[in-house]
Amino acid sequence: MKTFEFYVKQDAVLPLDINSPSFAEEKDQLIAQGFEIAGDLVKAETSTQAFEKFKIANLDELAGLASWHLIVGGIAAVLGFSAN
């Protein structure tokens, strides 16, 4: 069984296997791109299974992030800001 750590940035959620030989490098790259560690470590056979467990355990947090992005996007649109 593998152990995954999750990274989030806006709507993107990415799992990393903490025992992968490239974990440290991948983690550093994600953090440099503005990703943040989210939730607890998840044990699963595959990243897909880990993601399902992560979604269940962090449903409230993910819903809050989605709502927050909608609110910020709405305010930016009203103020005339563009994401481009």
Instruction: Classify residue 2 as exposed, middle or buried by CB count within 10 Å of its CB (0-12, 13-18, 19+).
Output: middle
**The model scores a pTM over 0.85:** no
Digit-by-digit pLDDT tens for the chain (84 residues) are: 999 999 988 878 889 999 999 999 999 999 999 999 988 899 999 999 998 898 887 766 655 554 444 444 444 444 554 444
**Domain-embedded: residue 82:** no
3-state helix, strand, coil in the chain (%, to 5): 50, 25, 25
**Domain-embedded: residue 18:** yes
**Domain-embedded: residue 63:** no
The pLDDT, as a whole number, for residue 68 is: 44
The boundaries of the domain holding residue 35 are 2-58
**Domain-embedded: residue 46:** yes
**Domain-embedded: residue 54:** yes
Number of independent structural domains in the chain: 1
**Domain-embedded: residue 84:** no
Strand order in the sheet with 12-17: 12-17, 2-9, 36-44
Rounded to 5°, the CA angle 22-28-30 comes to 100
